[in-house]
Structure 1
């Protein structure tokens, strides 16, 4: 079976569970760290996703945010999953969250799916095959300067204690971009770049599950996706810039 089809099946199933939890309310919320929450639906959705993926690809390794990991024998192939991108939004009733599932082969992400269950929007991509929103092709915006750009970012979970809290780059961006947004859902921010809602996105302090699927979708939609140095180590370094080529060059120059 095609891995993309299985990823879509898992994303839709987890999305339905999230919709159900959102409508019901009253779910348990815990504190993972000073600025990071986890809900019972993070764990339930991850378990559901892992179950679906392992039924078809039992040998594939799994990296999941909540620690429900499959110990597959093919370590060079792994699923990277965030069962609830935007946990704080979900917990506080802010209607922007989703499911993120990526497949990585030998260090290269080759499948990405991000599903927003409230909007019923499913972003998907395969390496070299383009990106789509609900099966319709998408492309990045043609914006070529920060002065005309809507840009998104966020803040790391250790912002209370780390000097590298992203406020310096926000100060740069608010003086140069048309406007800057903070929506609290990295995968969906990358997908917003992919379909032209945002012109660019940057952030650091991220984990692979935050950005793996969204980064591929943005790339396949025409964005340059790199680390702050303009290199391809964004998953390893936990930092990302995603933007059309001309705009990307301007941002990298500012961050250098």
Structure 2
């Protein structure tokens, strides 16, 4: 399965970069978040690939949900897709945007791919193993398998490095860093924050502002496979497939803290 997800993410990333270099057409959703033709193009590619390879596994995809298309996920196994995470990064010509495909089983992210096409890096995880592959930027070939090196979270030392959202930071996040005595932090866009912790380049990602499940599933799967964890503010593992929530919409996440377990 992971080979198919990786290949689909790379194909979507190629389409995204074509539009990135040509100049995207930007519109805005009801919540004022931007969406581009690259979001839609990438999602079409991924949905077609998943339907062909896994016709019995439903897919919750960001733009499809925005259009009102929400399949039944009662079976507990489904994909979460964010075809272009970090659309603001994309529009602002920052390279920290990603393609995210995550597989959920009984509320737990068990496999995922995060591809950053402008950086030429692909992170993936499955069967409890996480890896990073370096690809050529632009239009890499679509190999049947993507070779990569195993990655692992590092032990958290006396001076941990926190990653925070570039566009959606909050006073609560900064208060958390102060309360925990964390002096060093860096603002990073998209799901790359999970991957950098999984790779051992940072230690913690507190997110005390709104996210959706498709924003986090793939990166969370990679982090967990690399020896990390993602917990709610109450200390419970972040779960997926949340519907009928009293306090928020379907598939919305609560505040969370992603970190190395070490």
Residue 198 of structure 1 pairs with residue 202 of structure 2: yes
Residue 67 of structure 1: SS of its match in structure 2? helix
The equivalent residue for 2:137 is none
Residue 229 of structure 1: SS of its match in structure 2? coil
Q: For 2:184 and 2:20, locate their aligned partners in 1 and report how far apart those are by CA, in whole Å.
A: 30
When normalised by structure 1's length, the TM-score is 0.82
The equivalent residue for 2:40 is 43
**Any gaps of 5 or more consecutive residues in structure 1?**
158-164, 247-256
Alpha-carbon contact 1:227-1:234 (below 8 Å) kept: no
Residue 153 of structure 1: SS of its match in structure 2? strand
Superposed CA offset, 1:202-246 (max 9, x none):
214111101111011011111122111111135444332121235
Q: For 1:136 and 1:239, locate their aligned partners in 2 and report how far apart those are by CA, in whole Å.
A: 31
Superposed CA offset, 1:37-57 (max 9, x none):
111111111111000110111
Deviation at 1:119, TM superposition (A): 1.5
Q: For 1:174 and 1:23, locate their aligned partners in 2 and report how far apart those are by CA, in whole Å.
A: 40
Alpha-carbon contact 2:95-2:119 (below 8 Å) kept: no
Give the RMSD, CA atoms, in angstroms: 2.3
When normalised by structure 2's length, the TM-score is 0.81
Residues 216-225 or 70-79, more deviating: 70-79
Deviation at 1:117, TM superposition (A): 0.5
Residue 123 of structure 1 pairs with residue 119 of structure 2: no
**Any gaps of 5 or more consecutive residues in structure 2?**
134-147, 243-252
The equivalent residue for 1:160 is none
Residue 238 of structure 1 pairs with residue 254 of structure 2: yes
The equivalent residue for 1:92 is 92
Q: For 1:223 and 1:94, locate their aligned partners in 2 and report how far apart those are by CA, in whole Å.
A: 27
- Pairs within 5 Å for 1:1-256: 3-25=1-23, 27-33=24-30, 35-67=32-64, 71=71, 75-128=75-128, 130-134=129-133, 135-145=148-158, 148-154=159-165, 166-173=170-177, 176-185=181-190, 187-203=191-207, 204-235=209-240, 236=242, 237-245=253-261
Q: Stretches of 4+ moved more than 3 A in 1?
A: 68-75, 233-238
Paired residues in the alignment total: 232
Deviation at 1:131, TM superposition (A): 0.5
Q: For 2:236 and 2:258, locate their aligned partners in 1 and report how far apart those are by CA, in whole Å.
A: 12
Alpha-carbon contact 1:99-1:115 (below 8 Å) kept: yes
Q: For 1:90 and 1:6, locate their aligned partners in 2 and report how far apart those are by CA, in whole Å.
A: 25
Q: More helix per residue: 1 or 2?
A: 1
Residue 215 of structure 2: SS of its match in structure 1? helix
Deviation at 1:8, TM superposition (A): 0.8
